[in-house]
Structure 1
Amino acid sequence: MRDHRTSEFIKRHIGPSQAEQTKMLDSVGYKSMEKFIKDIVPSSILEDEQLDMRDSVSEQKALDILKGIASKNTVNKSYIGMGYYGTYTPNVVLRNVLENPGWYTSYTPYQPEIAQGRLEMLLNFQQMIRDLTKMDIANASLLDESTAAAEAVALCQRINKEDAKIVFVSQNCNPQTIDVIRTRAEPFGLHVMVGTFDMLENIKDNILCGIVSYPDTYGFVENIETHIKTIQSKKGKAIVVADLLALTLLKAPGEMGADIVVGNSQRFGVPMGYGGPHAAFFAAKDEYKRAMPGRIIGVSVDRKENQALRMALQTREQHIRREKATSNICTAQALLSIMAAAYGIYHGPDGIKHIAERANTFANMFASETSTKYKLVADTFFDTVCLDTGADTADILKRAYNYGINLRKVNDERISVSFDETTELKDINNLLEIFGVEKKLEALDANTATSIPAELVRGSKFMEHEVFNSFHSETEMLRYLKRLENKDIALNQSMIALGSCTMKLNAVAEMIPVTWPEFGGLHPFAPVDQAQGYQELFEDLKKMLSEITGFSGISLQPNAGAQGEYAGLMTIRKFHISNGDEERNICIIPESAHGTNPASAQMAGMKVVVIDCDEEGNIDLEVLRKKAEEHSKNLAALMVTYPSTHGVFEENIVDICKVIHDHGGQVYMDGANLNALVGIAKPGKFGPDVCHMNLHKTFCIPHGGGGPGMGPIGVNEHLEPFLPNHSVITENSGPETGMGSVSAAPWGSASILPISWMYIRMMGPKGLREATEVAILNANYMSKKLEGHFKTLYRGTKGLVAHECIIDLRPIKAESGISEEDIAKRLIDYGFHAPTMSWPVAGTLMIEPTESESLNEIDKFCNALINIKKEVLMVQNKIFDEKDNPLKNAPHTHQELTGDVWEHKYTREQAAFPLKYLKENKFWAPVSRVDNVYGDRNLVCSCPSLDSYRDEVA
């Protein structure tokens, strides 16, 4: 007998019931889902057969299966280091941030009025990084340490006026960082010189930049000021890769003259997770702020002149500047930088310094005892001790394995040992036995000779701001986190109908495995035989993604959608080069493409050629043919989003792909809209050669306030030899002939892959198809319901849309003066996050309801928009004043509405409660409309005093 629970999850994931689906189908003129889908999806790509996958299983069954897989991982005590360390996530942060949908289901803070909580925590992160590095400005995180270092090189290239081509990298940087820098430098013809500082001094030409590690990969701590000056004497920018915890004890790079400082905040309370996700940091001199990659949070003011936070400078700038953008990064690591900031706040400067001192003391004690038997490679270090173990190396490693301990084998004659927050006295004694030292330590000895040179001992203070010195009890920390959470709209509050961003349910059952120690406790460079559970998970997930997309080869390494774009284009680049077609460097991109597309193409060394769309929003096939013919000898690729960014299934997609193939190019499909394809069409079968899959969209990894994400790529067989690889862990991590590393860890942010595995296993083939069908149905129902109030800009040949629709607000602005921004901000008063605003078409809103939203919620959202249209008409008819009306002044705060004075020409009731449901459940925006221009003209990216927050409340 079939267990009824196997279909329960499908019903819980998909919002509308069968009866509601029937009602919605009827509203758009259809009697069956089958006929509806056939009229939308081109017959040339529609798949009739069900996905060849296992049937759905219940939540508990899926958790049981995954627990069995996880149990195959061996979580040894790790002393490997190399940028990844054991840490303890404070339980108050674990429960109230990482496991809290109020934090992990929120979207990137493009609408700052409903994101003040996470913006404040991201600003805290920036402040913490600035304090520890002593740099002028820091961003709100990057993807990982290695890509942050590569982004630093890219910044140097952007500001370089001398056309320098030499990038010097110390050979003592982490090897994964060297690899990513090499990958990213190659398309630009940069010469990466990896070597000693003697080599640096002997370079005669000017250099672009120099990269040093502090401490270095083997633990050595030296005065890098000399190296910084040498780099700068050769006209290069000095980039320092720093350990954040070490900076509590070591002289800050900013005090030594560094131009840029990058690193990883993983050891600030974020589990190793077999490689991620973790928040990298990027700090620089003030003069480079407009060339910095990623997001920067700044302080501005709102309509009432109250302090308000917002994203500054780079807000969606890749959609504006396209191939001239500072970076292609769209998703950063917001949730993880929030965790790291919370760790810093909870422990405070004294607590963090104590953690650092403790790790350093353990390293000192270990070095003191083992140096009687083995030579120290360096006698100045922070937490990592490197020993010349000679012929004993293999025996030591074997004994360590028997103890359940992983050491770093530097080479056949050298071992390094890294200590961290989790080290205990018993661990030191185990290590001494392993290294053959016959001594048992009885207590932590803080008086052991220090390994930090006197001239490198930090003298400057850090984290002096009140926020880092106010919330050290769990009660206070709990309330602080809750206070910030209440300022934000997340999916636990209401629908977030963002077009192209697929804000669907992130089910709790999918999230539970993320915090299992079997997944969280593994070092990414642990021996593969200790990660058999992960390897099984990877292979199973790749098999399922392959079946879903039709691509034969899958790489899980890219740890963001933009990383997937870059990896896909680099795979295409390597393919062309292997065929002797080095001259193929033209990438054709439709004007409707995602803004990250041209930025990614530029990063892959390609020249962007933009083509127009026709009046229906489709790629103009004749224009494409002409451009492909014109650039035939140099054509590398076409980047296409499917369904299109305009929200329709283009009928000519097969022909579009054929045009490119006929001219020797490859087709890259942006997978942002894969949620409209799963189970009904396979891109690997209808023309594209490579596609990235946003697991943080279609496959349920939550957006986390702007990250984490994962962007695996799928490729057809001829591209498989060129997929990403990894030099530290070569086994199963990619082909030897691959395009190089794009992320620090071999499998990217491995610890969030169980989320997507859980989703696919619980949905099964039928559930996955139904999810796609209902996502398309919900969008068409919404488009139909809004008909007569708002025009849907683009439709397919049968007058239908895909899984999202664009409503045109330009006529409204022309007739009433009410802009798309006014409508977006007014939606906040109705308790909703605005849809995607002014993209891909200026003056529009792009709406995507997803399959997870119920009919009731969709109706509520539509009714809000319809009522807003009535308010627009009231402005047009002069019932509302053209300047002083609820739309121009939205959103309205409770402070304004409860104040003694009300000076507006409309009532408080009209402002706060335009529909009845709001009286039962009202979200109050914490600030009025934020002044974006003021924030950029008066750029402040550090924490204001807590008194300024208190003054606002008072």
Structure 2
Amino acid sequence: MSDAFRSRHIGTAGDSARLAQALGYADADAVVRAAVPVAILTPRETLAALPSAATEQETLAELRGLAARNRVLRPMIGLGYYDTNTPSVIARNVFENPSWYTAYTPYQPEISQGRLEALINFQTMVADLTGLDTANASMLDESTAVVEGMLLARRASKSRSTVFLVDADALPQTKSLLAHRAAAVGIDLHETSFDQSPPPADIDVFGAFIQYPGASGRVWDPTEAIAAVQAAGGKVVVAADLLALTLLRSPGSLGADVAVGTTQRFGVPLGFGGPHAGYMAVRAGLERQLPGRLVGVSQDAAGHPAYRLSLQTREQHIRREKATSNICTAQVLLAVMASMYAVYHGPDGLREIARAVAARASSLADALTSTGAELVHDAFFDTVRVRVPGRAAAIVADAHGRGIQLLLVDDDTVGVSVDETTTAADLDAVVQAFGGAAGAARAGALGVSAHLPASLSRIDEFLTHEVFHAHRSETQMMRYLKSLADRDYALDRGMIPLGSCTMKLNAATEMAAVSWPEFAKIHPFAPAEDVEGYLELVTQLEGWLAELTGYDAVSLQPNAGSQGELAGLLAIRGYHLSRGDLSRTVCLIPSSAHGTNAASAVLAGMSVVVVACDDAGNVDLDDLRAKIALHADALSALMITYPSTHGVYEHDVLAITQAVHDAGGQVYIDGANLNALLGFARFGDLGGDVSHLNLHKTFAIPHGGGGPGVGPVAAKAHLAPFLPSHDQAQRHEHAGGFTFDGGAISAAPYGSASILPISWAYVRMLGPEGLRDATSHAVLAANYVAQRLRAHYPVLYTGANGLVAHECILDLRPLRDETGVTVDDVAKRLIDYGFHAPTMSFPVAGTLMVEPTESEDVAELDRFIEAMISIKAEAIAVGAGEWPADDNPLVNAPHTAQAVIAGEWEHPYSRELAVYPVASLVRGKYWPPVRRIDNAFGDRNLVCACPPVEAFA
């Protein structure tokens, strides 16, 4: 029974011998051994420290045991994290629905219209509440968003100053993250008490950051401070609580240039810190400076409104070292949840929730003052700071005994935060912990707050679009969510063969624990004794990942691959600085590398030098040695991806890493392609000093439509002290006994902790042999596809014995030259065949990078192969003149139901060929909701909020 999950996860398990023999090998293991250089192969015994595979039932039982060691108390700690009620209709139909969580980033917008609409709802919600013109499709978390706001302010400001003012009443985790990130790029942070002394008129700064309301809960009017900074030529970033903004004046109305924050309290579980969707909005004129993703409205080939990602030239794989941010994704699944929370409640419902929160906080404050406690601030929304000289620790301990977690600010001060889940009994418990009588806080608990300044009351409307008023009943909401999901193509429909993205099975057993309250309802700053289960799970997963990668230490804090990259490079930076090597700032990056590599290097304070690749797609060893010699004294690091971005195992990898080490540099190995290596070789044994891993690729965390993700950073012992740390972490020791001191990289101590049980379960159920088999079958599937299609499309790069790794690059340029059919035409035509297209034009323009993964079965692989062969025949027909170049099934793809039904059919090919090019589609057709989208039109006419209903008439 112990290998039962392996057979469930690996789609080709029952056919592996037949597929391997078709390639000329005995089994899948032999295929990998023929492809991977012998010098780097790791003996099977290397992973003996990992536990053997458990059954699904055993794994769930162990997770239940870990969950039982977490205490689900009432969190009233605040600091940017609040308990919230996730409407059941959203929990069931989004959070726990594979139609939403198995989707990929909407690079093919024609088959992503559902989640793109949800994201444009998110953008509209954020823009309306913040009072600014344009919002992006989410950020990683609030603190990361503040850093991005700071960097945006530096780009947009005309000031040459290096000084950025930081609110003294900012969230502590945000202060830590700002300090870590600012140091690497030469920004000087000056902490300022804006509420007590506005900046003088003669200040020289490029920007400022204000928390609104403050971390202490204080509500004050920052208008004067904002104006002073802007008068000096600076830009102002305001971090605002969206729920508070239903009652308080918006940052836009106060004059802010940028607003940032989190949408966590809009129905997204606490989850010990994540994943949550941060946000960013900007005033007019700054929209082209926005980092991350931006959804816009364009039109399709029929002139109908259609959504797509806007301003795609900002994508970091295009801008590379000129990138302004390394964040190339978003927290889509969580942004969808937050946007649907607003859709379900509407503006009136949100105001009602906010008023109840504010009233309960006000009632609590009045009850606490009656006990003799002193309010630190008289104006607040949901957070009360109370001064109790010498009694703070005792009060916090008393409240904890009553099931309430309060914030111990210092020996004399306690913080109490109220949220939508706070009950009268909770207020009673808090008052009694302060020595008051039961019932003191109940009077007026649902009334109006007396502690919100009338001068800051919001008077303008928000969420006026019809979508925020149309879905009040659960029936309406369920149908709306279903209609959006039906417009999308996710992994629950069929294969998503995206190269470099590893869209594998996200097993239901792996996902089960994510919504358990013992994992979902835990505050990231809860006391250590309340999170023993989480800490044990984290320690185990750190140890397993270290063992699997050949490194000594692992930090799980980075909540995206981009953040893991940055953390690894900042660790290298810290290491060199600790040794007095101040001049080591050059980062060598192959021309084939992921675009985030170069962007991360720049944000780590490094300068990028590009290393050439040879005709076979490998790093050009001669060029590498020349660049090392040229920059020897300044060499900081080399970043490489292994297997390479071209999908092959480079045989010179040991020589490459040795050359860098001989010159005093460090080696960063990008873990994006670990799915082709796990169990057979380890980064640490290749000469790697540090790597990030993508748990949302190799370790089965769902991509969620473009987030969440987890990007742990793993390192050798000499770099371990420089890995991400966190001031509020419950435990500072990590697996292996290491202590990190590299500074925060994400807002929460353990990043997106609530989805770590997914990868924990993946490793636990596969065990060392199953992980190895997953790798061998991923490589087997890719080589099977490559071999079957090689006669129709050249496979651009191959390694030893003509084999590829876990992905292959199909060269469509000869087809284009022969027929005029482009890679875009093939990608869109694949939609008609019922497929998500492979990765287009990366890393080589005019190609498709195909990664079938180990999860797909032979029938699905053959279905894809059949589609690609059929499309090739269609292209040849175009080239032969059977169909006009401007009117054929490829250039008109994809075909919607309306396109083939409405009006007269005037094309030179049949309706049947348009929508049923193979017989298997007749009963299981996926119908795209829109035709091909005009990207250029959308960029020329930038609209990034919900269009009026009339636009769809």
Question: Offset at 1:947?
Answer: 3.6
For 1:789 and 1:782, the matched residues in 2 are separated by: 11
Aligned residue for 2:162? 165
Aligned residue for 1:786? 789
| Partners of 1:497 and 1:835 within 8 A in 2 | yes
Aligned residue for 1:96? 93
For 2:921 and 2:443, the matched residues in 1 are separated by: 61
Aligned residue for 2:503? 503
| Partners of 2:293 and 2:329 within 8 A in 1 | no
User: Deviations along 1:623-672, whole A, 9 cap, x unmatched?
Assistant: 10010111000000000000000000000001000010011000001100
Aligned residue for 1:801? 804
Matches within 5 A, 1:307-386: 307-314=305-312, 317-372=315-370, 373-386=372-385
Q: Does 1:770 align with 2:773?
A: yes
Question: Offset at 1:14?
Answer: 0.1
Q: Does 1:570 align with 2:570?
A: yes
Structure 2: runs of 5 or more not aligned? none
Question: Offset at 1:739?
Answer: 2.2
Q: Secondary structure at the match of 2:512?
A: helix
Q: Secondary structure at the match of 2:40?
A: coil
Aligned residue for 2:936? 933
For 2:221 and 2:29, the matched residues in 1 are separated by: 69
Bigger mean CA deviation after superposition, 195-204 or 65-74:
195-204
Q: Does 1:404 align with 2:399?
A: no
Question: Offset at 1:427?
Answer: 1.1
Question: Offset at 1:234?
Answer: 2.2
Aligned residue for 2:142? 145
For 1:34 and 1:898, the matched residues in 2 are separated by: 50
Matches within 5 A, 1:425-440: 425-440=424-439
| Partners of 1:825 and 1:887 within 8 A in 2 | yes
Question: Offset at 1:158?
Answer: 1.8
Q: Does 1:251 align with 2:233?
A: no
Letter in 2 for 1:222: W
Question: Offset at 1:424?
Answer: 0.9
User: Deviations along 1:366-399, whole A, 9 cap, x unmatched?
Assistant: 1111112111111100011111111221221121
| Partners of 1:27 and 1:784 within 8 A in 2 | no
Question: Offset at 1:881?
Answer: 1.3
For 2:181 and 2:685, the matched residues in 1 are separated by: 30
Matches within 5 A, 1:727-742: 727-729=727-729, 731-732=731-732, 738-742=741-745
User: Deviations along 1:23-82, whole A, 9 cap, x unmatched?
Assistant: 111111112334322210001111122422111111111000011011101122111000
| Partners of 1:725 and 1:733 within 8 A in 2 | no
For 1:387 and 1:523, the matched residues in 2 are separated by: 21
Bigger mean CA deviation after superposition, 138-147 or 420-429:
420-429
For 1:59 and 1:445, the matched residues in 2 are separated by: 46
Aligned residue for 1:851? 854
For 2:447 and 2:895, the matched residues in 1 are separated by: 59
Question: Offset at 1:876?
Answer: 1.1
Question: Offset at 1:103?
Answer: 0.3
CA RMSD of aligned residues (A): 1.2
Q: Does 1:681 align with 2:681?
A: yes
Q: Secondary structure at the match of 1:385?
A: strand
Matches within 5 A, 1:481-880: 481-729=481-729, 731-732=731-732, 738-880=741-883
Aligned residue for 2:5? 9
| Partners of 1:295 and 1:315 within 8 A in 2 | no
Q: Secondary structure at the match of 2:281?
A: strand
Question: Offset at 1:691?
Answer: 0.6
| Partners of 2:732 and 2:740 within 8 A in 1 | no
Question: Offset at 1:248?
Answer: 0.3
- Pick closer, same or farther for the CA change 1:474–1:43 going to 2, 3 Å: same
Q: Secondary structure at the match of 2:924?
A: coil
Q: Secondary structure at the match of 2:303?
A: coil
| Partners of 2:273 and 2:751 within 8 A in 1 | yes
User: Deviations along 1:435-474, whole A, 9 cap, x unmatched?
Assistant: 1112514554444651111110110111011000000100
User: Deviations along 1:474-497, whole A, 9 cap, x unmatched?
Assistant: 000000000000000000101000
Aligned length: 945
For 2:890 and 2:706, the matched residues in 1 are separated by: 27
For 1:639 and 1:199, the matched residues in 2 are separated by: 46
Q: Secondary structure at the match of 1:548?
A: helix
Q: 1:26 aligns with which of 21, 24, 27?
A: 21
Bigger mean CA deviation after superposition, 199-208 or 155-164:
199-208
Q: Secondary structure at the match of 1:523?
A: coil
Letter in 2 for 1:90: P
- Pick closer, same or farther for the CA change 1:279–1:674 going to 2, 3 Å: same
For 1:555 and 1:315, the matched residues in 2 are separated by: 32
Q: Secondary structure at the match of 1:391?
A: coil
Q: Secondary structure at the match of 1:792?
A: coil
For 1:502 and 1:315, the matched residues in 2 are separated by: 24
| Partners of 2:496 and 2:837 within 8 A in 1 | yes
Q: Does 1:419 align with 2:418?
A: yes
Structure 1: runs of 5 or more not aligned? none
Q: Secondary structure at the match of 2:874?
A: helix
| Partners of 1:586 and 1:606 within 8 A in 2 | yes
- Pick closer, same or farther for the CA change 1:203–1:550 going to 2, 3 Å: farther
Identity %: 50
For 1:907 and 1:757, the matched residues in 2 are separated by: 51
Q: Secondary structure at the match of 2:39?
A: coil
| Partners of 2:798 and 2:804 within 8 A in 1 | yes
Letter in 2 for 1:861: F
| Partners of 2:76 and 2:406 within 8 A in 1 | yes
Letter in 2 for 1:21: S
User: Deviations along 1:321-376, whole A, 9 cap, x unmatched?
Assistant: 11112211123100000000000001111111111000000001011111121111
| Partners of 2:357 and 2:419 within 8 A in 1 | yes
Question: Offset at 1:233?
Answer: 2.1
Question: Offset at 1:152?
Answer: 0.4
Letter in 1 for 2:60: L
User: Deviations along 1:839-868, whole A, 9 cap, x unmatched?
Assistant: 000000000000000000000001000000
For 1:87 and 1:33, the matched residues in 2 are separated by: 48
For 1:203 and 1:755, the matched residues in 2 are separated by: 53
| Partners of 2:556 and 2:713 within 8 A in 1 | yes
